[in-house]
């Protein structure tokens, strides 16, 4: 089965329309005001009208639970990605309303045992590079650290993935790898994606379904 592709950090209407034509499996929108890719006053209808074959994903950081629930309804989000210190119980409150993706910043001393309590409360994990910005740093962590991941829960691989990682992705052997999440390495400016480069990445990788 092909690995899924998630394009994250979209916020420019015309650019979103172009990304939709690429038919990624997931398209991410950042609801965290501290991000350079914050959607701000983006029209909810624009997200609601994205074809249902693409899972629109709201990215939140330590947001109030009721605000996340309201966003799921308002924007008709298919998934939520939680990038803060959200508890397992918090994640469980959202389970069933949308797919729940819990992100963790990975570093040399990361304790994978902390994931055990989330196993029944989330649909997927997402492994990103540990940074103060909660993602979108363009920095890559050592994928060898995933050798310490002991659970069977499938995960998204994130953190500075770009064209330079094509060969490594093709050689990456882990059946738990569900999706690759790309963002800043494919940008012209924060929130504005280079569609030609994304097209090349998708077509050249051999990891994803073809256009």
Identified catalytic residue from 91, 128, 181, 207: 128
Nearest to 201 by CA among 177, 188, 185: 185
**41 among known catalytic residues:** no
**111 among known catalytic residues:** no
Cβ atoms of residues 145 and 105 within 8 Å:
no
CA gap 180, 200 in Å, rounded: 15
Site of tokens 């899924």? 4
Identified catalytic residue from 8, 25, 91, 207: 8
DSSP secondary structure letters along 52-95? TTSEEEEEESS--HHHHHHHHHHHT-SEEEE-S---HHHHHHHB
Q: What DSSP character marks residue 112?
A: G
E strand or H helix at 35:
none
Which residues carry out catalysis? Answer: 8, 128
């Amino acid at each position: 089965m092909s690995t899924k592709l998630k394009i994250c950090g979209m916020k420019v209407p015309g650019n979103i329309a172009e990304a939709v034509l690429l038919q990624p499996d997931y398209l991410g929108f950042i609801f965290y005001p501290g991000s350079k890719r914050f959607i701000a006053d983006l029209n909810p209808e624009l997200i609601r009208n994205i074809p249902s074959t693409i899972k629109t994903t709201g990215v939140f950081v330590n947001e109030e639970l009721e605000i996340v629930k309201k966003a799921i309804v308002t924007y008709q989000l298919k998934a939520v990605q939680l990038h803060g210190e959200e508890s397992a119980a918090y994640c469980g409150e959202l389970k069933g309303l949308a797919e729940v993706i819990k992100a963790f910043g990975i570093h040399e001393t990361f304790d994978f045992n902390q994931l055990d309590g989330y196993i029944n409360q989330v649909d997927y994990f997402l492994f990103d590079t540990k940074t103060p910005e909660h993602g979108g740093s363009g920095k890559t962590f050592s994928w060898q650290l995933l050798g310490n991941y002991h659970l069977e829960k499938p995960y998204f691989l994130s953190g500075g993935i770009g064209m330079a990682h094509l060969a490594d992705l093709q050689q990456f052997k882990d059946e738990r790898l569900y999706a690759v999440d790309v963002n800043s390495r494919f940008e012209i400016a924060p929130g504005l994606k280079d569609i030609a480069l994304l097209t090349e990445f998708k077509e050249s990788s051999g990891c994803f379904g073809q256009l």
